[in-house]
Every structure is written in structure tokens, then in C-alpha cells.
Amino acid sequence: MKKADRKARGRGVTGASAGRAQEVLRAHLARKGLRRSRIRDAVVAMFLAAPRHVSVEELTGQICERDKRIGHATVYRTLRLLAECGLAEAHDFGDGVTRYEPIRETGHHDHLVCTACGTIEEFENLEIEELQRQVAQHHCFVTESHRFELYGRCAKCRAGNNTESA
């Protein structure tokens, strides 16, 4: 994908959710015998404020504009810690780039991924969720998590390509 997603439901994690996230991370760090640092806190704050899925490289670039002392390895390790403690989810949308998104309290969502421009659009559909629940139940399967991603071309890319019909 050439560009990261431009459309997202949320505008990042703010307020009480960000405070709760910091507390969850602090407890996770304590369990792992790691210490809290100002630099790690800065990475977490910028990540939680991100309105979209972000790669380590993208977040490193944004952070380095503010603080040149924060490097790629610190951002990578911090995002991995956030994923370990359930505050972030890692995604690979087929282009080999891992992107992270904060896990928001607003519920589960799925993704539409444009294979032409790289736009990632989030959507929610209760009927799809119910159908997945029914399929799992029919097979006596207890679902722990799932991902649903649709790949294709967005309306803007289709409009720019006269050989395909919309």
C-alpha cells in the first residue's frame, strides 16, 4: 500500500480512556520488571492520539519532529508492549507493513482496504457480527477474536480508472 489509511471512526483515544490506558501499561510494565520513562510516555501519548492505523516508521517520523532523541527501536518496543497488554492491535493488510491501532472501548470494527491507494476504512456491521457468532455456535466453537477485512478498490480509485465499472 502506498498510503496509510485516511478514514477512521475515532479521533484517537482521549480523556479518561487515555488515563486508563496509561494505568494498564504501568501495571504491565511492573509485571515485566520494566520501568516507566518520559520517553515511553511520549510514544504512548502520541500513539493513543493517532486518528488512524500507524506503522512504526510513521510514528517514529511524527515523534522525531518533536524529539530527535526518540528512535525507531524505542517506538517499536513500546508498540509491542501496548499490543502485549491489550491496548493496541497489530495489523498487516497484505503489504508487509505492520500497522498498529489503539483498541478503543467503542467496540469491534472491521476494515475495507483499497489495494490501489492504500486507504483503510473502518466499518461496523451488526449483521455480520451476528452471522459470525452463529457460524461459531453451529460448529461448537468459542471465538476469542476475529478479523474481517475486505480488499478491493475504493470509489475514488475506481472513478480514476475508466476500464472498470463502479
pLDDT of the residue at 15: 45
CA atoms within 13 A on the CB side of 43: 30
State the pLDDT at residue 140: 95
Residue-level pLDDT at 17: 66
Sheet strand arrangement including 98-102: 54-55, 98-102, 88-92
Helix (H, G, I), strand (E, B) or coil at 71: coil
User: Which strand ranges, in their side-by-side order, compose the sheet holding 110-114?
Assistant: 120-123, 110-114, 149-152
| pLDDT exceeds 70 at position 3 | no
The confidence band for 14, taking pLDDT boundaries of 50, 70 and 90, is: very low
151 contacts 111 by C-beta, under 8 angstroms: no
What pLDDT shows up at residue 156? 92
- CA 159-121-93 angle, to 5 degrees, is 100
The pLDDT of 65-85, averaged and rounded, is 86
Tell me the sheet residues that pair with 89. 101
Domains of the chain, first to last: 15-159 (1.10.10.10)
> Taking 70 as the threshold, does the pLDDT of residue 44 lie above it?
yes
- Quick one: cell of 122? 473502518
C-alpha cell at 96: 508487509
- Taking residue 46's Cβ as centre, other Cβ atoms within 10 Å add up to 19
List the single range of 33-37, 77-81, 130-134, 139-143 with lowest mean pLDDT.
Answer: 33-37
Mean pLDDT within 89-99:
81
Looking up cell 491496548 gives: 87
The reported pTM is 0.63
Average pLDDT in the chain: 79
| Region of poorest pLDDT, from 3-12, 113-122, 124-133 | 3-12
Q: Is the pLDDT of residue 4 over 50?
A: no
